[in-house]
Structure 1
Amino acid sequence: MFYLNKKILITGGLGFIGSNLARSLVNQGAKVTLIDSLIPQYGGNNFNIDDIKNEVVINISDVRDTYAMEYLIKDQEYVFNLAGQTSHLDSMTDPKTDLDINAAAQLSLLEVCRAKNPQTKIIFASTRQLYGKPDYLPVDEKHPIRPVDVNGINKLAGEWYHLLYNNVYGLRTCALRLTNTYGNGMRVKDARQTFLGIWIRRMIEGDPIEIFGDGLQKRDFNHVDDCVEALLLAGQSETANGKVYNLGSQEVIDLKSLAQLMIGISPGAQYKMIPFPPERKAIDIGDYYSDFSLIRHELGWQPKTSLKNGLEKTLQYYKEHHRHYWDIQS
């Protein structure tokens, strides 16, 4: 109950991770304000917080709006900074918007905190994508950083702005490099947020899962409940200030085996292998899985939800609530 009565702001609060974080904080008695732009292609969804909508304050605004951020940040004790443009392909076709949201807006937010509320603690959601193609596995925080797309470069800039403001101005900030996060509330209308989303949609609609290439690319996954726990631990820990932590899992699986696991959970589903689209192949990173020993040792975090159990819960959720996330064709 560390967050009991704490004033907390979540950017991207109607999105996938933000809404799950909000639910956990509400259950702990926190006073939660959510910011979301509800731009259609970014994943915010009012249904994500339908069960707690009367227990949070919702502000529909954009993190690029400095005046709105000045008003919303000034009294907050914690800022969980989750707003961002997450599509790697979109970052290549519209790099300027990605720059505005993932880099420039992050700098503006930090400037607002420095000027209006330097006591607040800021937890930034970064990404494993900034490592690029791994030199070795599992990837730890000392691995070279070589983003393979515009999104990775801009997320890296946003992350380093947070660390700079910690080191130079004394703002308390930290960053978590998230891996493939999945669970209730993730975008499933398309593959903008994670490929697992469109896999789930195709399964429920009766279409085969599409696997690019040979399907042997290895990945690790975190259920959103474990991701939320990591965010909360980072927020309450002074040890985390100025630090970057990888999230990850000890369950490493290739994509073909992942599809087979999902089909085992939902009999009747199928998958098919298709050639890599050129635009995706150009930014594919091959095998990737994380070494998360630093956050385990310093903050005591490790994932608790098995991949099978997490996928079972996620599939069941979308079977029940798909009408709130996409329109099924009859």
Structure 2
Amino acid sequence: MVEHVLITGGAGFIGSRLAARFVEAGHTVTVLDSLISQVHGDDPSTTSPLLRSLDGVAEVIEGTVTSKDDLRRAINGATIVVHLAAETGTGQSMYEIDRYVDANVGGTAKLLDILANEENSVRRVVIASSRSIYGEGAYRTEDGRTVYPSHRADADMAAGDFDVHVDGEGPLTLIPTDEQSKLHPSSVYGITKQMQESLVMTVMPTLGKEAVSVRYQNVYGPGQSLKNPYTGILSIFSTLIRQGKAINVFEDGLESRDFVYIDDIVEATFLASTVPAAAGEIFNVGAGTATTVLDVVAALQKAYGVEVPVTVSGQYRLGDIRHNIADTTKLRELLGFTPHVTFDEGVKKFADWVLTEPIEGDSYDKSLREMAERKLLK
């Protein structure tokens, strides 16, 4: 069956690759994207390789999910919607609260309102959720029970204690977080992603339509924005290394993330959009391995063949989690797919691509100043 796929936020890092995957499989694609300068530059038609990659691939509509008129234009004829459009950035979300809620929650509500009240041909919506809705991940106690630690206390981190704790328990061991785990986001961004997912998974079945959620871990790879200081540490550290600047590692450098390569994200999302068995389901999408920040720094310096000074400063950001890795059993069992690009392989591909790109101006320091001014960076 040939599908007409609408990808909101489809000119971005993930969406542009996903559009090509759908077209490769014989489907047609429409993209709705606001083409913000933080991602696409001041003149997207000339400054955005992601946008140019959609030439001949998809119809691109410049518009926003916060406009019902733009959504109506984009939804026309669509049978599947992959809802990627969202403001991203854990730190920034803590002080640009209205913008994040308006785009992420309000935009999703407008999309669903149209599907509920106006004629359309959409039969499935896939919502791009996030590991951030879990807050801290799952841990095992010394006697084998699974617990979900609360957000870390400012006072503990100020004293240099960055580990997670549960009252009355001894040392905890990190374990993979499955889809049934407790949801307790620790940032405005995480709260909005949880609300997006809840809206889609609740409303769509009442309309007789299908809903699927994909909870992404930390996505990286070629095409990731090197301009946007909220896209993740691989881009940030790459820019610093190429500029010969020192890297400031927060906390003790042993905080970890589950880094998942862009090709694995695209394939998992494509399957979640097209496989009948995915209907009504929620899937974690991650590599299932923990990589520390110090591991990231070492891998990038090796990939670029450059060493810069590295300081483990003990600074920390309120709202950051300590660890979270994905249990991808459900993705494998229902969709027959397991993300397979290792971090070492992915970093090499990412670095090879970065070296073909111009060295971008560093806006990372500005983002840190904004957080420090609001006492969110300590």
Give the TM-score normalised by the residue count of structure 2: 0.80
Q: What's the counterpart of residue 353 of structure 2?
A: 317
Q: What does 1:66-85 correspond to in 2, within 5 Å?
A: 66-85=68-87
Q: What does 1:215-226 correspond to in 2, within 5 Å?
A: 215-226=253-264
Q: Does 1:140 align with 2:178?
A: yes
Q: 1:162 to 1:276 in 2, by over 3 A?
A: farther
Mark the structure with the bigger radius of gyration.
Answer: 2
Q: What's the counterpart of residue 32 of structure 1?
A: 29
Q: Give, in angstroms, the shift of residue 327 of structure 1.
A: 4.5
| Distance in 1 of aligned mates of 2:234 and 2:344 | 13
Q: 1:135 to 1:308 in 2, by over 3 A?
A: closer
Deviations 1:27-61 (A, max 9, x none): 33322111110122356863114244133211110
Q: Does 1:110 align with 2:146?
A: no
Flag structure 1 segments of 5+ consecutive residues without an equivalent: none
Letter in 1 for 2:7: I
Q: Identify the match of residue 7 of structure 1 among 4, 8, 14.
A: 4
8 Å Cα contact 1:11/1:63 also seen in 2: yes
Q: Give, in angstroms, the shift of residue 148 of structure 1.
A: 0.5
Q: Identify the match of residue 200 of structure 1 among 238, 243, 248.
A: 238
Q: What's the counterpart of residue 173 of structure 1?
A: 211
Q: What's the counterpart of residue 16 of structure 2?
A: 19
Q: Secondary structure at the match of 2:277?
A: coil
Q: What's the counterpart of residue 88 of structure 1?
A: 90
Q: 1:271 to 1:307 in 2, by over 3 A?
A: farther
**What is the aligned-residue RMSD (CA, Å)?**
2.0
Q: Identify the match of residue 231 of structure 1 among 269, 272, 276.
A: 269
| Distance in 1 of aligned mates of 2:183 and 2:70 | 33
8 Å Cα contact 2:39/2:227 also seen in 1: no
| Distance in 1 of aligned mates of 2:19 and 2:138 | 36
8 Å Cα contact 1:36/1:60 also seen in 2: yes
| Distance in 2 of aligned mates of 1:23 and 1:318 | 21
| Distance in 2 of aligned mates of 1:62 and 1:16 | 17
Q: Secondary structure at the match of 2:239?
A: helix
Give the TM-score normalised by the residue count of structure 1: 0.91
Q: Give, in angstroms, the shift of residue 270 of structure 1.
A: 2.9
8 Å Cα contact 1:202/1:208 also seen in 2: yes
| Distance in 2 of aligned mates of 1:271 and 1:30 | 48
8 Å Cα contact 2:254/2:293 also seen in 1: yes
Q: Which moved more, 1:106-115 or 1:84-93?
A: 106-115
Q: 1:55 to 1:218 in 2, by over 3 A?
A: closer
| Distance in 2 of aligned mates of 1:165 and 1:118 | 16
Q: Does 1:156 align with 2:194?
A: yes
Q: 1:116 to 1:126 in 2, by over 3 A?
A: same
How many aligned residue pairs are there? 322
| Distance in 2 of aligned mates of 1:30 and 1:232 | 11
Q: What's the counterpart of residue 128 of structure 1?
A: 131
Q: Which moved more, 1:183-192 or 1:225-234?
A: 183-192
| Distance in 1 of aligned mates of 2:12 and 2:112 | 21
Q: Give, in angstroms, the shift of residue 275 of structure 1.
A: 2.7
Letter in 2 for 1:99: V
Q: Secondary structure at the match of 1:117?
A: coil
| Distance in 2 of aligned mates of 1:271 and 1:163 | 47
Deviations 1:144-174 (A, max 9, x none): 1111111111111110001012332222111
Q: Which moved more, 1:140-149 or 1:29-38?
A: 29-38
8 Å Cα contact 1:78/1:121 also seen in 2: yes
Letter in 2 for 1:285: I
Q: Does 1:293 align with 2:329?
A: yes
8 Å Cα contact 2:246/2:311 also seen in 1: no
